[in-house]
Structure 1
Amino acid sequence: MNEQAIQEQYQHIVNLLEQKRLKEAQVQLEAFLWNCNDWTLRNRLEQAKVSYQYMLQYMRQGINDPERQKLYRQLLAETWELAEQTRISLLDEVSTRYYHSLHKNKKNMVAGYGMSSWLKVLESFPDDMAVCQLMPDNKQSLDSALQRHEGTAQYLFLTTWGNSGWTAEEEQEARLYLESELLPVNDLCLFTGAILLSLMECFDPRKFSWLLDAATHADTQVNQRALVIIAIILHIHSSRLRLYPELMAKLSLLDEDGSFGKQLNRVYIQLLRSRETEKIDKKMREEIIPEMMKNVTIMRNMKYGFEENIDEDDRNPDWEKAFEESGLGDKIREMNELQLEGADVYMSTFAQLKSYPFFQNPHNWFYPFDMQHSSIIREFGLKPTGENAVLSLILQSGFFCNSDKYSLCFTMAHIPQAQRNMMLSQMTSQDLNELMDESKSSSLRQYALRPDVISNQYIHDLYRFFKLSQRRHEYRDIFKEEITLHRIPALKDILCKPELLATIADFHFRKEHPAEALSIYKEITDMNHADAEIFQKTGYCLQKEKRYKEAIEAYRKADVLKPDHVWTIRHLATCHRQLRDFATALEYYRKAEAMQPENRNLPFLIGSCLAEQERYEEALQCFFKLDFMENDCIKAWRAIGWCSFVSGKFEQAMRYYNKILALKPLSTDYLNAGHAALLLGNMEKAAELYGKATSESGNRETFLEMFDKDKEMLIKLGVDEKDIPLIRDLA
């Protein structure tokens, strides 16, 4: 069997299990196993089949078995596990993916050399480093300690990744890592990364149970990583957890006080936000960076608050004006806002800096940034001083994810010393003192230790691994997928709470995903927890989806709960106008005008509704009012021109069209002015204006299309229908 056939056969079995067609799934799995040499799997399937046959036989005989559902669930779980192990075993023989080379190597491991022995090596590392720091000149002992530690960590990572299912003994050994007080936190974080990759390939209840324990670990670095991984694994294996009541109970217990649900919901939003990274990346590459390059002179002359204020009045105000007029100011402010909310704004910058040898090893993408990593010590020494101390401080902040911190270090190391000195000299002594100030550096470190910052930066690390690592095409990229954690059966009781759902819906609402926001707002409404704001947002989403009748229903509910809110009234008017119910739209617009008499847009909208009802005299009064409120209001002039024309006031229409033609005319303005000239009997002027309308519209066909739309109106106003083909040819 080739790789595609194996995957298709496995997926067919999974589909049967999801439909609870266990008997058929077992038959298909038996055929699947004929291609596999693992007799252990065949024996396990035979036992599962016999158990199911006995269960069905007892049922046929009418025997009441209180354990029936429990056994049925166990058989579903066992059959699914066997199908997964069979798939992996078959792929080991044909797939070139890195995972399968790791999985095959597990069989060749030395007996007695496992997780417990690796733990002892890793636990000894802090003591080894302490000794090395006492003997700074003994480079050999330092290299030896680093090599032993990093080699062991790498071996632990790769063997855990390649292990498709822990034994009970291995699970116990893994728990020692959580309980150890000597194990460096970074090594435990690396271990959780390996468990993520392993679980993505194959669901293992023992590893998932370990993750649930890791989510309560005392160290924030560990528990936040575990939280992110739990979210990802439940997204990938959304149907599996319900087959393991003990895991469901453990998950439920975690959320006893509701805090786990709030944290998981925050991670949910962070995962959703990560899907916006490509848009941000594109904006950075195509808009912001090119704009910065164009405006480099302006930016060089700008002051950003680092300088002394002695010559404050010497700044040329034209620089700032030019900066704002370029549009760059708004774009940079937008990026700052995105960064503050946790968006990944550095992806485009650091994507080009992942070709260093360090990133060729998969485990290094998961290792938290560590100044004591051999690759960092090699470049900056064991105890960074001077410029390296400044860099060290910046790297301790939470501004960059771990992967980008390594990239930054390697990039800095490759910059010649003279250029590094020049970069450092750009910072004044005041800036340096501020950076090195204990209270400032302490606040930077505290920010980096916040749970929300750690989980967000970890998601950024994962995003880079799945998008940029050498073997990225071998991994399932969850960042391309729609993520709906609140719909996963195992998380229903944890995340399906109105206050949590509202934050997810509001995220989609802010990011202009109306369909996604709408479905969640409807769920909140079905729970009878909707307030006026929820109904307003529901209406707005429906309006964006062009479902105007449903939008009106939602807005009316909002109006009942929060009467006479001008925003609701205006949107009700807009929806009625879109449905061409101009009479009702007019009522709402008049109501809004009574609340906002100074609003300059409302007279225009009221006038438009009146004009659509052919109440041209009343419409003209509205447009004259708008013309009075605003100077040189072309929008009002166009409306006055057209209403005057269709109501037979051709001279008034011509007067206003002449005002428009003197400013910023469109092709339709030339066309309508031509109509006015035609009805005034000025055929030569009409021909000239129609000619300009043709050239402005780009081609003859567009002009004829516009002209024909007005044909009925021209006939109604007295133009002979037989003359119309001739008039069109005057252009």
Structure 2
Amino acid sequence: MTIQEINKAYNRIIGSLDSRELKNAFDFLQGFIAGSREYSFQDKLDEAQETYRYMLRYRGEGAKDPMQEQIYNNLVASAYELADLVKHKALAIESPLVYYSHRRNLQTQQQMSYTNLHSMLSTPVGIVKEEVRFEAGLIVLFHKIWVSNPLTAEEVAGIQDILTDTALPTSVGAQTVSALMLGLQMAFDKEKLMLLFDAASLDNEEIRVRALIGILLTLCKYRKRTALYPQIANRLAALDEKTPNLTKAIRTIILRFILARETEKITRKLQDEIIPEMMKLSPKISKKINLKDFNPEQLGDEMNPEWQEMSSLGKKMEEFSELQQEGADVMHSTFVHLKNFPFFRELSNWFMPFTTSHTAFGDRFNKDSAEKQMLDTMTTAGFMCNSDKYSFYFSMMQLPEAHRSMMMNQFDSQANEMIQQSKEELISKRGKEEIITGQYIQDLYRFFKLYPSHLDFEDIFTSPIDFHNLPILQPYISDEESLTTIAEYYLRKNYFSDALIIYNRLSEHIQGSDILFQKIGYCKQMGGDIEGALEAYLRADLLNTESKWVIRRIAGCYRTLKQPEEALKYYRRYETLSPDNLSAQISIGHCYLELKNYNEALKYYFKVDYLDNKSHKAWRPIAWCSFLTGKYDQARNYYKKITDSQPDTQDYLNAGHTEWALQNIKGALSYYKQAIEADDYDFNKFREQFIQDIPDLLVAGIEENEVPLMLDQLQYTLDDTSNR
């Protein structure tokens, strides 16, 4: 079988199992084994099928087996696992993916047991030779776990010993957890997941947070399988008992993953808006002010007049600052091009907790203690993830020592103090666990987006990461506070369909909140479900009849649904609450226009024109209603104003109709010609619009037999113009 055929056969089996079509899955597995010639798995399949036949036969005889559900779940679980085994065995030799390449490489090398690796990693560091050996052992450990087959009891015990050894550096546990997570992304292994639960119960915050993220990602990827393993639910319950703030931790992870979805938007905003404006203003500003003197103590209350041109940039920078405080990934665009250092060729290094003692730095940052302190302060105070910190340090290494020293000297002790204060404020505001969560998710984002062979991995950030929708997690994340917080976050980031799912869940238990139904309506409206939005808005209106916002939304929905009479009722209600709101006044006029009550519509349009004599937004509807009511001179006056300002194709067309109704054929032809010119001389498009207006022309007294003559005359006029 080709690699494509292997993946197709595997996906067909998984699809059947996800749908709980076990007989089909067994049949597809039989074909998969035969096609891949992996007959060593035939006995396992035969055994599973025989058990299933016995179970069905027993059931068919009317006997009730209290173990039936458990037997069935075990069969489905074993079918999933068997499909995984066959797939990996079939791809082991041929697949060019990094995962299988590393498996093949490890098989050609002398295998080290987890016990031996544990001993190797326990060697005291401090001597360069020993540190090199330690880092090499850590890489071997990472790869061994990542590409391993389902773990045996002996292997599990060996990894548990490593995780629980508090004498080992944090990097060992952190890398072990990352390897387990990455391995689980390639193939489900209950034992690897149980090891993540072990790690999530440890006291070390870095390891614990990474483990919890790994657990959630695994549960999300294998959401159809988790109910088959009672141990998972049991371990979650045990973890909840041991972790007082588990709900808060899960909620934080969910919010950080939502923020991760914003990374590309933020990058584009920086590259397309903020940085270009800064570049544009930089030369002028740098001449006007001395940046070295720019500190809080020397700033007065007055605004520099020179800065008025920075108003738009100021708003963008304020938004950028808010995103930064929120924990958004604002540094991705800065470091996206700084991942080409040799350090990043090693896959495991993308997950490595940051340390200046890594041998990749040599002793460059240990000679000058002041320089090292400054760099340490900058990296701990900022919003850099571990991966970006390595990038930053490697970039500094590229600078000549004199340039680096000069750069460091620009940061005086006051700047150092400010950075340290910023770090302390950040930790107190967001908490250490929240910072670790954000940094690790950013590390994952960079790996799945920027690792040289990242296309060999299924990008977790392109799949739905909706932990709150997983049935197995709902006991821990279904409280009103959590769901409301997550929904509000989705809403604020314009992920309306995601927010709607949660708001609908909340509405099952909260019936008396008009705000909740307002938000349901808004999400539905933004998703294009106008009827559903209207239903929710009407529900909100019943709960609170004084909300002007809801009344306007209801009216707007009725207008969109082509029910102007109903829309008018609500615009009238709104008018009583805000008598001089011009937008509502013009909307009422539109409703009357759609109801063909042109005289009433004109009253409102004139009112808008009188109250707002600057925007002229009422000119067009006044002109058209005047035409429809036979007030052609009035229509002519308004179309003259419109065509003298900023006319479009429709304005010229309507002005032509008005001149024709006034028997000014020459004037009508002139306006029609301008309409065609405004549309790049597309006569066919003009003709379509013209034909739509024929009923109104007939009402205006134009003879039906005059219509084709006007169109022909117009074409001759165009031909004469083009031939000159």
TM-score (structure 1 length as normaliser): 0.88
Counterpart among 209, 216, 222 of residue 237 in structure 1:
222
Structure 1 residue matching 2:93: 3-state secondary structure: helix
Taking a change above 3 Å as real, the CA distance of residues 658 and 11 of structure 1, as seen in their structure-2 partners, is closer
Letter in 2 for 1:306: F
Match of 1:435 in 2: 419
Judged with a 3 Å threshold, the aligned counterparts in structure 2 of structure 1 residues 118 and 556 are, in CA distance, closer, same or farther, namely same
Q: Which of residues 682, 707, 711 is equivalent to 1:724?
A: 707
Match of 2:80 in 1: 80
Aligned with residue 351 of structure 1, among 298, 316, 336: 336
Q: Report what 2:642 is aligned to.
A: 660
The answer for the alignment partner of 2:721 in structure 1 is: none
Q: Distance in 1 between matches of 2:62 and 2:637?
A: 95
Rounded to whole Å, the distance in 2 between the matches of 1:28 and 1:614 is 65
- The residue number in structure 2 matching 1:317 is 305
| Letter aligned with residue 406 of structure 1 | Y
Partner of 1:219: 204
3-state SS in 1 of match to 2:329: coil
Tell me the residue number matched to 2:158: 173
Cα contact 1:611–1:619 (8 A) shared by 2: yes
Name the aligned partner's letter for residue 317 of structure 2. I
- The Cα offsets for residues 449-500 of structure 1, whole Å up to 9 and x where unpaired, read as 6222211221111111111112212111121223333343423433445543
Match of 1:697 among 663, 673, 679: 679
Q: 1:637 to 1:98 in 2, by over 3 A?
A: closer
Structure 1 equivalent of residue 251 of structure 2 = 265
Quote the Cα distance in structure 1 between the aligned partners of 2:439 and 2:630: 68
Contact kept? 2:500, 2:520, Cα under 8 Å: yes
Measured in 1, the distance between the counterparts of 2:487 and 2:583 equals: 30
Contact 2:374 2:408 in 1 (8 A): no
Identity percentage of aligned residues: 35
Kept after mapping to 2: 8 A contact 1:646/1:713: yes
Q: Which runs of 5+ in 1 are unaligned?
A: 130-141
Judge which range, 720-729 or 170-179, deviates more: 720-729
Q: Which residue of 2 aligns with 1:119?
A: 118
- Structure 2 vs 1, CA of residues 282 and 360 (structure 1 numbering), >3 Å: closer, same or farther? same
TM-score normalised by the chain length of structure 2: 0.89
Q: After TM superposition, give the deviation of residue 568 of structure 1 in Å.
A: 0.5
Q: How much does 1:576 deviate?
A: 0.8
Q: Tell me which amino acid in the other structure corresponds to 1:317.
A: P
Cross-structure match for 2:441: 459
The structure 2 residue matched to 1:640, chosen from 622, 625, 633, is 622
- Gap change, CA 1:264 and 1:384, over 3 Å in 2: farther
Are residues 1:408 and 2:407 paired?
no
In 2: Cα distance, 1:666 partner to 1:64 partner: 77
The counterpart of 1:248, out of the listed 213, 218, 233, is: 233
Q: Give the distance between the partners of 1:494 and 1:579, measured in 2 at CA.
A: 41
Q: Distance in 1 between matches of 2:393 and 2:59?
A: 67
The 5 Å alignment of 1:366-445 reads: 366-381=351-366, 385-424=369-408, 426-427=410-411, 430-435=414-419, 439=421, 441-443=423-425
Selected match of 2:286 from 300, 306, 329: 300
Cα distance change of structure 1 residues 2 and 418 upon mapping to structure 2, 3 Å threshold: same
Does structure 1 residue 707 correspond to structure 2 residue 706? no
What's the counterpart of residue 277 of structure 1? Answer: 263
Q: Deviations over 1:612-631 (max 9, x none)?
A: 22323322222222223223
1:196 aligns with 2:181: yes
Q: Secondary structure at the match of 2:705?
A: helix
- Bigger Cα displacement from structure 2, 577-586 vs 334-343: 334-343
Preserved CA contact (<8 Å) 1:559 1:565: yes
Return 33-42 or 535-544, whichever deviates more: 33-42
Task: Give the Cα–Cα distance (whole angstroms) in 2 for the partners of residues 149 and 162 of structure 1.
Answer: 20
User: What's the CA shift for 1:14?
Assistant: 2.7
Alpha-carbon distance between aligned partners in 1 of 2:419 and 2:270, rounded to the nearest angstrom: 28
1 CA distance for matches of 2:135 and 2:43?
A: 40
The alpha carbon displacement at 1:160 in A equals: 0.8
SS of 1:386's equivalent? Answer: helix
Distance 1:673 1:211, change over 3 A: same
Q: Map Cα deviations across residues 36-61 of structure 1 (whole Å, 9 max, x no partner).
A: 89887555555545555555565567
Provide the residue aligned with 1:96 in structure 2. Answer: 96
Q: Does 1:361 align with 2:343?
A: no
Rounded Cα–Cα distance in structure 1 between residues aligned with 2:17 and 2:686: 63
Indicate the residue corresponding to 1:616 in structure 2.
598
Provide the C-alpha distance between the structure 2 equivalents of 1:657 and 1:59, rounded to a whole number of angstroms.
Answer: 82
Give the partner amino acid of 1:399: F
Structure 1 residues 650 and 250, CA gap change in structure 2 (3 angstroms): same
Evaluate the alpha carbon distance shift between residue 688 and residue 210 of structure 1 in structure 2; reply closer, same or farther with a 3 A threshold. Answer: same
CA gap of 1:429–1:683, structure 2 versus 1, over 3 A, is: farther
CA distance change for structure 1 residues 508 and 446 in 2, over 3 Å: closer, same or farther? closer
Gaps of 5+ in 2: 718-724
Change (3 A) 1:648 1:468: same
**Per-residue deviation, residues 65-107 of structure 1 (Å, max 9, x unmatched):** 4334323323332332233122212211222223224334555
Shift of 1:646: 2.0
User: What displacement does 1:307 show?
Assistant: 3.8
Amino acid at match of 2:210: R
Against the structure 1 CA distance between its residues 683 and 632, is the aligned structure 2 distance closer, same or farther, given a 3 Å change threshold? farther
The 1:182–1:633 alpha-carbon spacing in structure 2 relative to 1, beyond 3 Å, is: same
CA gap of 1:57–1:300, structure 2 versus 1, over 3 A, is: same
**Are 1:563 and 2:545 matched, yes or no?**
yes
**Cα deviation, residue 578, structure 1:** 1.1
Q: Is the 8 A contact 1:339 1:345 kept in 2?
A: yes
- Worse-matched range after superposition: 79-88 or 331-340: 331-340
- 1:520: how far off? 3.4
Matched, 1:335 2:291: no
RMSD over aligned Cα, in angstroms? Answer: 3.2
C-alpha distance in 1, partners of 2:130/2:512?
A: 60
How far apart are the structure 1 equivalents of 2:329 and 2:288? Answer: 26
Q: Secondary structure at the match of 1:465?
A: helix
- Measure the CA separation in 1 of the matches of 2:302 and 2:404: 30
Write the distance in 2 (CA, Å) between the matches of 1:20 and 1:657: 68
Cα distance, 1:5 vs structure 2: 2.5
Count of matched residue positions in the alignment of Structure 1 and Structure 2? 710
Cα separation, 2, equivalents of 1:718 and 1:28? 74
What whole-Å deviation, never above 9, does each CA across 1:242-289 have from its counterpart, x for those lacking one?
121122211133335884234223322322332332333333334443
Q: Aligned partners of 1:575, 1:41: CA distance in 2, in Å? A: 60
Matching residue's letter, 1:161:
W
Hey, what does 1:10 align to over in structure 2?
Answer: 10
CA distance in 1, matches of 2:144, 2:325: 38
SS at match of 1:635: coil
